[in-house]
Structure 1
Amino acid sequence: MDFQKFLKNYKQKLFDIFSQSSEAEENTLVRGIEESTLKEIMDLSPLGAFIPSEYGGYGGHTAEALAMLEASSYESLPLSLMMGINGALFLQPVANYANEEVKKDIFNRVINSNKLGGLMITEPDFGSDALKMQTSYQKIGDDTYKIEGTKHWGGLTGMADYWLITARNMNDKGDLGRDISFFIHDTRNGGIEVEEYYNNLGLYMLPYGKNKIDIKVDESHKLQPKSTGVTMMLDLLHRSRLQFPGMGMGFLRRMMDEAMEHCKERFVGGQSLINYDQVKSRLSEIQAYFTVCSAMCNFTSSNIPLEKNTSRMDLEANAIKALVTDYMQRASQSLLQLKGAMGYRLDSIAGRSVIDSRPFQIFEGSNDILYQQISESVLKMMRKLKNNNLHDFLSEFHLTSRSSEYFKERLNFELDPKMPQRKLVELGRALGRIISMEFTLNLGDQGFNNELIQNAIKTLQDEVNTIMQTYKYGGNADVVEEYKMDSSWFKLSMVNA
């Protein structure tokens, strides 16, 4: 299969469906996707980008997977998420950990019969606390597992043909083990009941809901970890987070194109919007987000082949996922601000993008938690080296050795290893940007547009300096428990009247 030929045809097909079609804007208001529309897209085999060539795919090359996600998200962020779920959360784990015969059958059905796969980890009472999930499995007979539980917020609820389902082993006493196992469920076998479909705020194309699970799975359909199941889950989640820039790339390019076009064509006060300094500030930030995301794509495609185990790449994965999704939301907010009232509609690219990009900051690791984990990872490494000076550490660390030099004075201080959680989050926000600046400098070395690189460096500098100012001198406000007491301005105005 020729990937370049596919990509050209794929971009044209998506343009025809999501931009040219007379029903394009109207379709953004409808939940789900027409079967005929999905068939048109899937007949081009976009998921072949995640599948090795020996199984009929394009090769499973990371750069090609990201390019397919970019093409998808330029026209439709929900479609790109659909492809990302199938690829990073189903096909890639299957490629790396599934039984050979099972793998062949799944890849064949995905490529030739347009089948879809999804992942079920999250439970109603266990979201960010996934390791305490209550879905259980028990072995019955020699080669069958019985799996029971409740899962929710799995993208493609009621729509996927395969599910990768996580569960914990239940012993004879009814206690659950600490490790996590993954099972591939073919929906032709039944046993998953959709109890409720959720009215998700955005991403209308993807159905979400709550599922009751009572299934039996053959032992051949249990993923085989190289070490522990938790390590396998970390590999799956980190690999997915490292590929978020693919979804972000097309989206940010679209935000940039839409904003630039609008500001050149829209006249206010007798001149084009693009001539106003505040407008230039917003546009330059969107361009910086685009450039940083390009650098992230470059990093992932160069360093994360399909066979690489990413379970220890928490720092890179968390920095990339948290920052690119923050930038996606910021870019959409700026586009909406620039477009004004005409953008504040669900059928406007600006309004739709604000709603659709928002959950990216929540799923697969809430960004507040990821930023905290970034700081904790760095503190752990610093403890091992017995080094408390932040700049000294970062200047020697492979992910920040160049970028840290832009902040010599700002980072030249001793870290408090017992800092409060809010400080961990703030520090993580700065570290994520410093790591991303390193990626951006490396992209510049390879010949990327130098003006865009320099613009991105300036934007990242401004952001890090602002964050570190708050980190050092702010963030001390506390919660007032008795906030209802003496807090009516109206009562006070009556007393003083």
Structure 2
Amino acid sequence: MNETILKASTLKKEIASQTTESIQDFLSKLKDKMQQVFHLRGDINQYAQQRGLPPFVLREIMDTNPLSIGIPKEYGGRGAVMAENLALLEAASYESLALSLTFGINSALFLQPVGKYATHEAKSEVFKRFLENKTMGGLMITEPDYGSDALNMQTSFTEEDQFYNLNGKKHWAGLTGWAEFWLLTARQQTEKGDLQRDIDFFICDVTQPGQTIKVEEFYDNLGLYQIPYGRNHIDVRIPKTHKLIPHSTGVKMMLDLLHRSRMQFPGMGMGFIQRMLDEGMNHCKQRLVGGKSLFSYDQVQERLSKLQASFTVCSAMCANSAKNAGVEKDLTGIGIEANAVKSVITDLMQQAAQSVTQLVGAKAYRNSHIAGRGITDSRPFQIFEGSNDILYAQISEGVVKQMKRLKEANLFNFLKENPLTSRSADQLKDLFNFKLDLQLPQRKLVELGQILGRVISMDMVHKLADEGFRKDLIDGGIQMLHQDIQQLMGSFHLNPQLQVVEDYQDNSSWLKYSV
């Protein structure tokens, strides 16, 4: 008995120490632990070729209590400070994008919404388990027949006495089969059997009776081997104390949650892009081709300079999110900004991995090389939490809606007055000083969204420059974005509307015309 009390007392002291030390010291301990498990006691390049992680790796890393960053101070955590959370994601993604995403799932998709919307009773129980037992949590929204169409999800719930009964299927939830806690989304079933429009969130504890989630299948995900994904059958009874309480509607709560999560993608991108930059530069400086350093070739300089520019853009996004995406803020209405941040940074992540793989060559075309697996690990970031094509289209739709409301047809005039783009508009006037067709086809909405996303990113870089960030890196970031915008505008102004030929097999064999 005394030994148990002593262990509990020691654990509380350790947690208190971890939650009061500086963020630099906190992250230093995490980095030391990652160095031990990924490079000294084992080899991360070998782990990356297998599903999951060796138990000791996750245990050792979780012993540093990294997820305490997402827990409010009044519940024993570090305070859910956005800058600290981004720094955690950055530190992890330099070593492992999968580990960083694991932290991101726990913090952005579980701990932050629980801290903001759950009852005191639920928060006390959940946060205690996270701090003392190093447990994990995730979010289930996506369904087999309703991916991007989340508002029409079919998982339903009914109410009885002190419980909610949930029934349905969810899939592609990161940490499937691992997490003990889940935020489950469902729509209430009416007496007629219909489903209400609004969406509610419930905290499910799979260790409790009646709350077991059955994993019907584990998926063979192409990348991110260390994170399990799968299809889940939901048939659970959730205590009424474990339903999240929206400040207005459940849909707005979901938007607040998802927008905040998208604003944290730069944290995962930051360490990853820096690692790609470091790997690329180190390889090119050491490699000799034709008797001279690969680093000295002009095309190599082009690739490396773009990697460095991506590093700067991501830095600007992190600084912006740290200031503007805290849990205390209502992010329901920042769809344009959040979509721009998520889509642009994930495009840059994929480009970074592709570019370093190209620089390194065949040696990188392996799962055991960080650049090669970086291609498949970063690729789903362009898909989950909103496919980039959809997010780009939504950016344009949001801008067009605002322009109609303002009765402004000139794109430059609109961008000049919009707080997300006002800093960059003048230098782009020649590109945007035209009357925008406010009835754009979908493909043009996507193209325009890609352009606007980069203009918004450019504004963030200008604001980072105001804070004193080094000028040569700022210049590189601005130049890359300007070049991207120019190229995208060229495509945007082309009008051909290619259409799919459904019966293309008829009279289309090249062999027939080769004689």
The yes-or-no answer on 1:202 pairing with 2:223 is yes
Partner of 1:153: 172
Provide, for residues 235-279 of structure 1, a one-character-per-residue CA deviation record: whole Å limited to 9, x for no partner.
010000001000000000100000010010011011111111101
Structure 1 residues 217 and 22, CA gap change in structure 2 (3 angstroms): closer
Q: Secondary structure at the match of 1:188?
A: coil
Q: Is the 8 A contact 1:422 1:475 kept in 2?
A: no
Aligned equivalents of 1:419, 1:352: Cα separation in 2 = 37
**What amino acid does structure 2 have at the position aligned with 1:279?**
V
1:100 aligns with 2:107: no
* C-alpha distance in structure 1 between counterparts of 2:371 and 2:24, whole Å: 30
Aligned-residue offset at 1:423: 0.4
* CA drift at 1:23: 2.9
Quick one: which amino acid aligns to residue 300 of structure 1?
A: S
Alignment of 1:307-456 (within 5 A): 307-456=328-477
2:198 equivalent in structure 1:
179
Matched, 1:286 2:312: no
Say which SS state the counterpart of residue 473 (structure 1) adopts. Answer: coil
Corresponding residue of 1:33 = 53
3-state SS of 1:461 partner:
helix
1:14/1:475 Cα in 2 relative to 1: closer, same or farther (>3 Å)?
Answer: farther
Q: Give the equivalent residue in structure 1 for 2:135.
A: 115
- TM-score of the superposed pair, with normalisation by structure 1: 0.98
Q: How far off its partner does 1:490 sit?
A: 0.7
Match of 1:250 among 264, 271, 285: 271
Cα distance in structure 2, aligned partners of 1:130 and 1:24: 35
TM-score by length of 2: 0.95
Aligned 8 A contact 2:82 2:327 in 1: yes
Return the letter of the residue paired with 2:25: K
Distance in 2, Cα, partners of 1:87 & 1:475? 45
Q: Structure 1 residue 22: deviation in Å?
A: 4.2
Of 18, 34, 38, the match for 1:18 = 38
Structure 2: which 5+ residue stretches go unaligned?
A: 1-18
Distance 2:308 2:44 in 1: 27
Deviation beyond 6 Å, 4+ runs, structure 1? none
For residues 355 and 24 of structure 1, the distance between their equivalents in structure 2, rounded to whole angstroms, comes to: 16
Shift of 1:97: 0.2
User: Residue 7 of structure 1 corresponds to which residue in structure 2?
Assistant: 27
2:234 counterpart SS class = strand
Aligned pairs (5 A) from 1:187-266: 187-189=206-208, 190-266=211-287
Question: Does the aligned pair in 2 maintain the 1:62–1:304 contact within 8 Å?
Answer: yes
Could you tell me how far 1:91 is from its partner in structure 2? 0.2
Deviation at 1:474, TM superposition (A): 4.5
1:472 is the counterpart of 2:493: yes
- Which position in structure 2 is the counterpart of 1:45? 65
Which is worse superposed, 67-76 or 187-196?
187-196
Identity value in percent: 55
Structure 1 residue 49 displacement after superposition: 1.0
> In the TM superposition, what is the alpha-carbon distance from 1:176 to its structure 2 partner?
0.6
Within-5 A mapping of 1:50-65: 50-65=70-85
**Alpha-carbon shift at residue 169 of structure 1 (Å):** 0.3
Could you give the per-residue CA deviations for residues 111-159 of structure 1, whole angstroms, max 9, x where no partner exists? 1110100000000000000111000000012x21100000000001011
SS of the counterpart of 2:422? coil
Superposed CA deviations along residues 368-392 of structure 1, whole A, max 9, x for unmatched, are 0000000011111111110010000
The secondary structure found in structure 2 opposite 1:150 is strand
How far has the Cα of 1:25 moved from its partner? 1.7
> Among 187, 190, 197, which residue is 1:168 paired with?
187
One-letter amino acid matched to 2:380: P
How far the C-alpha of 1:21 sits from its partner, in A, is 4.0
1:301 to 307, 322, 327: 322
Deviation by residue 1:325-347 (Cα, 9 ceiling, x = unmatched): 00000000000000000000110
Q: Distance in 1 between matches of 2:412 and 2:30?
A: 46
Match of 2:156 in 1: 136
CA distance in 2, matches of 1:148, 1:304: 33
